[in-house]
Amino acid sequence: MTSRLPGFYTLPVEERLRLIASLCDLTPDEAHALLPGQGLSLDQADKMIENALGVFVIPFGIATNFLVNGESHFVPMVVEEPSIVASASNTAKIVRKAGGFTATSTGRQMVGQVQVVHCSDWESARQRLLQKKGELLARANEARPTMTARGGGALDLDVKVLNGNGDRGWLPMLVVQVTIDTRDAMGANVIDTMMEAIAPDVEAITGGTVYLRILSNYTDTCLAQAQCTIPAELLGTKTLDGVEVRDRIIAAYAFAELDIYRAVTHNKGIMNGIDAVAVATGNDWRALEAAAHAYAARGGRYRSMTEWEIGEHGELVGRLELPMPVATVGGATSVNPVAKTALKLLNVTHAAQLAEIMVSVGLAQNLAALRALVTEGIQRGHMALHARARQAISSPVKQ
Protein backbone atom coordinates (compact mmCIF):
# COMPACT_ATOMS: atom_id res chain seq x y z
CA MET A 1 0.00 0.00 0.00
CA THR A 2 1.23 3.49 -0.84
CA SER A 3 -0.25 6.76 0.32
CA ARG A 4 0.90 8.41 -2.92
CA LEU A 5 -2.28 8.72 -4.99
CA PRO A 6 -1.83 11.23 -7.84
CA GLY A 7 -5.10 12.90 -8.83
CA PHE A 8 -6.99 11.52 -5.86
CA TYR A 9 -8.63 14.87 -5.15
CA THR A 10 -10.12 14.97 -8.67
CA LEU A 11 -12.17 11.81 -8.15
CA PRO A 12 -15.84 11.95 -7.10
CA VAL A 13 -16.33 11.40 -3.36
CA GLU A 14 -17.93 7.98 -3.87
CA GLU A 15 -14.98 6.81 -5.97
CA ARG A 16 -12.48 8.08 -3.39
CA LEU A 17 -14.23 6.09 -0.68
CA ARG A 18 -14.32 2.93 -2.81
CA LEU A 19 -10.62 3.26 -3.59
CA ILE A 20 -9.56 3.86 0.02
CA ALA A 21 -11.83 1.06 1.27
CA SER A 22 -10.13 -1.29 -1.16
CA LEU A 23 -6.58 -0.16 -0.34
CA CYS A 24 -7.14 -0.24 3.43
CA ASP A 25 -9.27 -3.41 3.46
CA LEU A 26 -12.25 -1.69 5.07
CA THR A 27 -15.34 -3.80 5.66
CA PRO A 28 -18.62 -2.50 4.23
CA ASP A 29 -19.68 -1.43 7.74
CA GLU A 30 -16.41 0.44 8.32
CA ALA A 31 -16.71 2.31 5.03
CA HIS A 32 -20.43 2.92 5.62
CA ALA A 33 -19.62 4.58 8.97
CA LEU A 34 -18.02 7.50 7.10
CA LEU A 35 -21.24 8.42 5.28
CA PRO A 36 -23.50 11.20 6.62
CA GLY A 37 -25.84 9.95 9.31
CA GLN A 38 -24.21 6.52 9.46
CA GLY A 39 -21.45 6.98 12.04
CA LEU A 40 -22.19 7.91 15.61
CA SER A 41 -25.83 7.05 16.37
CA LEU A 42 -28.12 9.19 18.47
CA ASP A 43 -28.27 6.42 21.07
CA GLN A 44 -24.46 6.34 21.27
CA ALA A 45 -24.30 10.12 21.51
CA ASP A 46 -26.83 10.10 24.34
CA LYS A 47 -24.62 7.72 26.31
CA MET A 48 -21.46 9.76 25.66
CA ILE A 49 -22.69 13.12 26.99
CA GLU A 50 -25.54 14.56 29.04
CA ASN A 51 -28.53 16.28 27.43
CA ALA A 52 -27.67 15.05 23.93
CA LEU A 53 -29.91 16.42 21.17
CA GLY A 54 -28.16 15.05 18.10
CA VAL A 55 -24.77 14.82 16.43
CA PHE A 56 -22.75 17.56 14.72
CA VAL A 57 -21.24 16.58 11.37
CA ILE A 58 -17.80 17.83 10.29
CA PRO A 59 -16.11 16.76 7.03
CA PHE A 60 -13.93 13.64 7.26
CA GLY A 61 -11.05 13.57 4.79
CA ILE A 62 -7.67 11.98 4.36
CA ALA A 63 -4.28 13.52 3.73
CA THR A 64 -2.27 11.52 1.23
CA ASN A 65 1.47 11.17 0.53
CA PHE A 66 2.64 10.72 4.13
CA LEU A 67 5.76 8.62 4.58
CA VAL A 68 6.77 8.21 8.23
CA ASN A 69 9.70 6.01 9.24
CA GLY A 70 9.64 4.41 5.80
CA GLU A 71 5.95 3.45 5.92
CA SER A 72 3.09 4.97 3.91
CA HIS A 73 0.07 6.23 5.82
CA PHE A 74 -3.26 7.72 4.86
CA VAL A 75 -3.95 10.32 7.52
CA PRO A 76 -7.63 10.82 8.50
CA MET A 77 -8.56 14.39 9.35
CA VAL A 78 -11.85 15.75 10.70
CA VAL A 79 -11.89 19.50 10.15
CA GLU A 80 -14.05 22.26 8.70
CA GLU A 81 -11.17 24.44 7.45
CA PRO A 82 -10.86 24.04 3.65
CA SER A 83 -7.07 24.28 3.24
CA ILE A 84 -5.77 21.99 5.99
CA VAL A 85 -6.08 18.61 4.24
CA ALA A 86 -4.79 20.02 0.94
CA SER A 87 -1.75 21.71 2.49
CA ALA A 88 -0.83 18.65 4.54
CA SER A 89 -1.03 16.40 1.46
CA ASN A 90 0.96 18.75 -0.75
CA THR A 91 3.72 19.24 1.80
CA ALA A 92 3.88 15.52 2.57
CA LYS A 93 4.51 14.97 -1.16
CA ILE A 94 7.54 17.29 -1.04
CA VAL A 95 8.88 15.63 2.10
CA ARG A 96 8.25 12.20 0.58
CA LYS A 97 10.58 13.04 -2.30
CA ALA A 98 13.24 13.84 0.31
CA GLY A 99 12.82 10.52 2.11
CA GLY A 100 9.83 11.24 4.32
CA PHE A 101 9.55 12.03 8.01
CA THR A 102 11.63 10.39 10.70
CA ALA A 103 9.77 10.15 13.99
CA THR A 104 10.43 8.78 17.47
CA SER A 105 8.66 8.80 20.84
CA THR A 106 9.84 8.65 24.43
CA GLY A 107 7.25 6.37 25.98
CA ARG A 108 3.75 6.42 27.43
CA GLN A 109 4.32 7.86 30.89
CA MET A 110 1.68 10.17 32.36
CA VAL A 111 1.41 11.95 35.71
CA GLY A 112 -1.16 11.86 38.51
CA GLN A 113 -1.21 14.21 41.49
CA VAL A 114 -2.59 14.22 45.04
CA GLN A 115 -2.76 17.57 46.86
CA VAL A 116 -2.36 17.59 50.65
CA VAL A 117 -3.00 20.56 52.97
CA HIS A 118 -2.97 21.17 56.73
CA CYS A 119 0.22 19.24 57.57
CA SER A 120 1.97 20.18 60.78
CA ASP A 121 5.48 19.44 59.46
CA TRP A 122 5.85 19.53 55.69
CA GLU A 123 9.35 18.13 55.38
CA SER A 124 8.69 15.29 57.81
CA ALA A 125 5.50 14.40 55.93
CA ARG A 126 7.42 14.45 52.65
CA GLN A 127 10.06 12.07 53.99
CA ARG A 128 7.46 9.66 55.37
CA LEU A 129 5.70 9.50 52.00
CA LEU A 130 8.98 8.76 50.20
CA GLN A 131 9.70 5.98 52.69
CA LYS A 132 6.30 4.46 51.84
CA LYS A 133 6.79 4.82 48.07
CA GLY A 134 6.65 1.09 47.38
CA GLU A 135 3.45 0.61 49.35
CA LEU A 136 1.75 3.59 47.68
CA LEU A 137 2.70 2.40 44.18
CA ALA A 138 1.38 -1.05 45.01
CA ARG A 139 -1.90 0.45 46.26
CA ALA A 140 -2.24 2.46 43.04
CA ASN A 141 -1.67 -0.62 40.90
CA GLU A 142 -4.16 -2.66 42.92
CA ALA A 143 -6.82 -0.14 41.89
CA ARG A 144 -6.29 -0.90 38.17
CA PRO A 145 -4.80 -4.41 37.90
CA THR A 146 -5.61 -4.67 34.17
CA MET A 147 -3.14 -1.88 33.47
CA THR A 148 -0.31 -3.69 35.24
CA ALA A 149 -1.30 -6.90 33.44
CA ARG A 150 -0.64 -5.09 30.14
CA GLY A 151 2.84 -4.10 31.31
CA GLY A 152 1.91 -0.60 32.50
CA GLY A 153 0.84 0.91 35.79
CA ALA A 154 2.34 3.17 38.46
CA LEU A 155 6.14 3.28 38.11
CA ASP A 156 7.49 6.01 40.36
CA LEU A 157 6.50 8.56 42.98
CA ASP A 158 7.90 11.91 44.05
CA VAL A 159 6.76 14.49 46.60
CA LYS A 160 7.12 18.27 46.51
CA VAL A 161 6.16 21.11 48.85
CA LEU A 162 4.52 24.15 47.25
CA ASN A 163 4.09 27.58 48.83
CA GLY A 164 5.71 26.42 52.06
CA ASN A 165 5.75 29.98 53.44
CA GLY A 166 2.04 30.54 52.84
CA ASP A 167 2.72 33.44 50.47
CA ARG A 168 -0.18 35.56 49.13
CA GLY A 169 -2.47 34.10 51.78
CA TRP A 170 -2.62 30.72 50.06
CA LEU A 171 -2.33 27.47 51.98
CA PRO A 172 1.01 25.68 51.95
CA MET A 173 0.58 22.31 50.26
CA LEU A 174 2.31 19.04 49.60
CA VAL A 175 1.89 17.31 46.23
CA VAL A 176 2.36 13.58 45.67
CA GLN A 177 3.24 13.09 42.00
CA VAL A 178 2.98 9.60 40.50
CA THR A 179 4.37 8.54 37.12
CA ILE A 180 2.14 6.00 35.35
CA ASP A 181 2.61 4.02 32.15
CA THR A 182 -0.79 3.99 30.45
CA ARG A 183 0.26 1.79 27.50
CA ASP A 184 -2.08 2.36 24.52
CA ALA A 185 -4.77 4.20 26.51
CA MET A 186 -4.82 7.94 27.10
CA GLY A 187 -5.22 6.97 30.74
CA ALA A 188 -7.24 9.80 32.31
CA ASN A 189 -9.71 7.51 34.05
CA VAL A 190 -6.97 5.06 35.05
CA ILE A 191 -4.88 7.81 36.64
CA ASP A 192 -7.81 9.42 38.45
CA THR A 193 -8.82 6.05 39.89
CA MET A 194 -5.27 5.39 41.09
CA MET A 195 -4.98 8.82 42.74
CA GLU A 196 -8.28 8.33 44.55
CA ALA A 197 -7.12 4.89 45.70
CA ILE A 198 -3.95 6.16 47.39
CA ALA A 199 -5.57 9.28 48.92
CA PRO A 200 -6.59 7.62 52.24
CA ASP A 201 -3.08 6.23 52.71
CA VAL A 202 -1.58 9.64 51.92
CA GLU A 203 -3.76 11.24 54.59
CA ALA A 204 -2.83 8.57 57.13
CA ILE A 205 0.89 8.94 56.44
CA THR A 206 0.98 12.75 56.48
CA GLY A 207 -1.72 13.59 59.00
CA GLY A 208 -2.96 16.17 56.50
CA THR A 209 -6.10 16.54 54.41
CA VAL A 210 -6.30 15.52 50.76
CA TYR A 211 -8.08 17.89 48.39
CA LEU A 212 -7.39 17.19 44.71
CA ARG A 213 -6.77 13.68 43.30
CA ILE A 214 -6.36 14.12 39.56
CA LEU A 215 -4.24 13.53 36.46
CA SER A 216 -2.03 16.23 34.97
CA ASN A 217 -2.43 17.12 31.30
CA TYR A 218 1.13 18.45 31.20
CA THR A 219 2.58 15.28 29.70
CA ASP A 220 6.26 16.11 29.25
CA THR A 221 7.06 12.45 29.97
CA CYS A 222 5.03 11.38 26.92
CA LEU A 223 6.76 13.06 23.98
CA ALA A 224 6.92 12.46 20.23
CA GLN A 225 9.45 13.96 17.84
CA ALA A 226 9.46 14.34 14.04
CA GLN A 227 12.15 15.54 11.67
CA CYS A 228 12.44 16.16 7.94
CA THR A 229 15.40 17.16 5.78
CA ILE A 230 14.53 18.73 2.43
CA PRO A 231 16.98 19.67 -0.35
CA ALA A 232 16.50 23.33 -1.22
CA GLU A 233 15.61 22.59 -4.85
CA LEU A 234 12.39 20.88 -3.75
CA LEU A 235 11.17 24.10 -2.14
CA GLY A 236 11.23 26.35 -5.21
CA THR A 237 8.20 27.90 -6.89
CA LYS A 238 7.56 29.25 -10.38
CA THR A 239 8.99 32.62 -9.35
CA LEU A 240 11.46 31.82 -6.55
CA ASP A 241 14.35 29.36 -6.44
CA GLY A 242 14.62 26.87 -3.62
CA VAL A 243 17.49 28.56 -1.78
CA GLU A 244 15.53 31.81 -1.60
CA VAL A 245 12.44 29.99 -0.31
CA ARG A 246 14.56 28.12 2.25
CA ASP A 247 16.07 31.34 3.57
CA ARG A 248 12.67 33.00 3.78
CA ILE A 249 11.34 30.05 5.78
CA ILE A 250 14.23 30.40 8.23
CA ALA A 251 13.43 34.11 8.61
CA ALA A 252 9.74 33.32 9.19
CA TYR A 253 10.69 30.79 11.86
CA ALA A 254 12.95 33.36 13.56
CA PHE A 255 9.99 35.77 13.66
CA ALA A 256 7.97 33.18 15.62
CA GLU A 257 10.90 32.50 17.97
CA LEU A 258 11.28 36.17 18.80
CA ASP A 259 7.72 37.49 18.96
CA ILE A 260 4.80 36.05 20.92
CA TYR A 261 2.19 37.61 18.63
CA ARG A 262 3.64 35.66 15.72
CA ALA A 263 4.42 32.54 17.78
CA VAL A 264 0.79 31.99 18.77
CA THR A 265 -0.40 32.05 15.14
CA HIS A 266 2.59 29.97 14.02
CA ASN A 267 1.78 27.31 16.62
CA LYS A 268 -1.95 27.42 15.97
CA GLY A 269 -1.16 26.32 12.40
CA ILE A 270 0.77 23.33 13.72
CA MET A 271 -2.17 22.30 15.88
CA ASN A 272 -4.55 22.66 12.90
CA GLY A 273 -3.25 19.36 11.59
CA ILE A 274 -2.72 17.59 14.91
CA ASP A 275 -6.19 18.47 16.18
CA ALA A 276 -7.82 17.26 12.96
CA VAL A 277 -6.21 13.82 13.35
CA ALA A 278 -7.08 13.76 17.07
CA VAL A 279 -10.76 14.41 16.36
CA ALA A 280 -10.82 11.78 13.58
CA THR A 281 -9.34 9.12 15.87
CA GLY A 282 -11.47 9.98 18.91
CA ASN A 283 -8.61 11.48 20.90
CA ASP A 284 -8.77 14.38 23.35
CA TRP A 285 -7.68 17.35 21.24
CA ARG A 286 -8.19 19.71 24.20
CA ALA A 287 -5.59 17.84 26.25
CA LEU A 288 -3.20 17.91 23.29
CA GLU A 289 -3.67 21.68 22.90
CA ALA A 290 -3.12 22.36 26.60
CA ALA A 291 0.05 20.25 26.79
CA ALA A 292 1.49 21.55 23.51
CA HIS A 293 1.16 25.24 24.36
CA ALA A 294 2.49 24.70 27.89
CA TYR A 295 5.47 22.82 26.42
CA ALA A 296 6.12 25.74 24.04
CA ALA A 297 6.53 27.96 27.12
CA ARG A 298 8.56 25.54 29.24
CA GLY A 299 11.65 27.77 29.14
CA GLY A 300 9.76 30.69 30.68
CA ARG A 301 8.88 32.34 27.35
CA TYR A 302 6.30 31.25 24.76
CA ARG A 303 8.11 30.25 21.57
CA SER A 304 7.77 28.39 18.28
CA MET A 305 6.96 24.71 18.70
CA THR A 306 9.04 23.87 15.61
CA GLU A 307 12.72 24.41 14.89
CA TRP A 308 14.06 25.14 11.40
CA GLU A 309 17.69 25.43 10.33
CA ILE A 310 19.98 25.06 7.33
CA GLY A 311 21.67 21.67 7.22
CA GLU A 312 25.28 20.77 6.51
CA HIS A 313 24.68 20.57 2.76
CA GLY A 314 22.27 23.47 2.45
CA GLU A 315 19.09 21.50 3.12
CA LEU A 316 16.17 22.80 5.12
CA VAL A 317 15.96 20.79 8.36
CA GLY A 318 12.82 20.90 10.48
CA ARG A 319 12.02 19.39 13.88
CA LEU A 320 8.98 19.24 16.11
CA GLU A 321 8.76 17.76 19.60
CA LEU A 322 5.49 17.83 21.53
CA PRO A 323 3.65 15.98 24.28
CA MET A 324 1.43 13.41 22.55
CA PRO A 325 -0.87 11.68 25.08
CA VAL A 326 -2.94 9.90 22.44
CA ALA A 327 -4.66 6.52 22.54
CA THR A 328 -5.62 3.67 20.26
CA VAL A 329 -7.87 1.99 22.85
CA GLY A 330 -10.51 3.20 25.30
CA GLY A 331 -12.61 6.35 25.36
CA ALA A 332 -14.17 7.63 22.14
CA THR A 333 -11.71 5.53 20.13
CA SER A 334 -13.70 2.48 21.23
CA VAL A 335 -17.20 4.00 21.15
CA ASN A 336 -17.33 6.01 17.93
CA PRO A 337 -17.42 3.81 14.78
CA VAL A 338 -15.89 6.64 12.74
CA ALA A 339 -12.88 6.74 15.08
CA LYS A 340 -12.45 2.99 14.70
CA THR A 341 -12.45 3.33 10.92
CA ALA A 342 -9.97 6.22 11.15
CA LEU A 343 -7.51 4.10 13.13
CA LYS A 344 -7.80 1.32 10.57
CA LEU A 345 -7.15 3.79 7.74
CA LEU A 346 -4.03 4.96 9.56
CA ASN A 347 -2.76 1.40 9.87
CA VAL A 348 -1.26 1.90 13.33
CA THR A 349 -0.64 -0.87 15.84
CA HIS A 350 -0.03 1.12 19.04
CA ALA A 351 -0.40 4.57 20.55
CA ALA A 352 3.27 5.53 20.22
CA GLN A 353 3.07 5.01 16.45
CA LEU A 354 -0.05 7.19 16.28
CA ALA A 355 1.80 9.89 18.24
CA GLU A 356 4.72 9.77 15.80
CA ILE A 357 2.42 10.18 12.79
CA MET A 358 0.52 13.04 14.43
CA VAL A 359 3.66 15.01 15.26
CA SER A 360 4.79 14.48 11.65
CA VAL A 361 1.47 15.96 10.50
CA GLY A 362 2.10 18.99 12.72
CA LEU A 363 5.54 19.49 11.17
CA ALA A 364 4.07 19.18 7.68
CA GLN A 365 1.35 21.69 8.49
CA ASN A 366 3.92 24.19 9.75
CA LEU A 367 6.09 23.83 6.66
CA ALA A 368 3.05 24.26 4.42
CA ALA A 369 2.06 27.48 6.18
CA LEU A 370 5.57 28.94 6.21
CA ARG A 371 6.19 28.13 2.55
CA ALA A 372 2.89 29.71 1.52
CA LEU A 373 3.45 32.79 3.68
CA VAL A 374 6.91 33.54 2.30
CA THR A 375 6.00 32.93 -1.36
CA GLU A 376 2.53 33.65 -2.74
CA GLY A 377 0.95 34.55 0.62
CA ILE A 378 -1.53 32.56 2.62
CA GLN A 379 -4.68 33.89 0.96
CA ARG A 380 -4.37 32.80 -2.65
CA GLY A 381 -4.97 29.07 -2.29
CA HIS A 382 -6.75 29.45 1.04
CA MET A 383 -9.43 31.81 -0.26
CA ALA A 384 -9.94 29.81 -3.44
CA LEU A 385 -10.91 26.82 -1.31
CA HIS A 386 -13.11 29.04 0.85
CA ALA A 387 -14.90 30.29 -2.25
CA ARG A 388 -15.49 26.71 -3.40
CA ALA A 389 -16.93 25.84 0.01
CA ARG A 390 -19.26 28.84 -0.01
CA GLN A 391 -20.44 27.99 -3.51
CA ALA A 392 -21.19 24.40 -2.47
CA ILE A 393 -23.16 25.56 0.57
CA SER A 394 -25.21 28.07 -1.44
CA SER A 395 -25.97 25.67 -4.32
CA PRO A 396 -29.24 23.70 -4.25
CA VAL A 397 -28.90 20.19 -2.87
CA LYS A 398 -29.35 17.57 -5.57
CA GLN A 399 -32.09 15.08 -4.77
Does the active-site annotation cover 73?
Answer: no
Q: Residue 204 burial (CB < 10 Å; 0-12/13-18/19+)?
A: exposed
Question: Is 268 among the residues known to form the active site?
Answer: yes
Is 81 designated active site? yes
Is 284 annotated as catalytic?
yes
For residue 17, the one-letter residue type is L
Helix and strand totals (H; E) in the chain? 15, 10
Query: Choosing from 30, 181, 275, 284, which is the catalytic residue?
Result: 284
E strands in 95-152: 102-105, 109-117
Spatial separation of the C-alpha atoms in residues 362 and 145, rounded to whole Å = 35
- How far, in Å, are 69, 132, 291, 355 from residue 275 at the CA level? 21, 40, 12, 12
Phi-psi sector, 7: left (phi>0), alpha (psi -120 to 50), beta: left
**CA–CA distances in Å: residue 148 to residues 107, 113, 151, 183:** 16, 19, 5, 9
Helix or strand holding residue 37 (H, E): none
Here the contacts of 151-154 (C-beta below 8 Å, separation 24 or greater) are: 151/181, 151/183, 152/108, 152/180, 152/181, 152/182, 152/183, 153/180, 153/181, 154/178, 154/179, 154/180, 154/194
Active-site residues, by number, are 81, 268, 284, 382
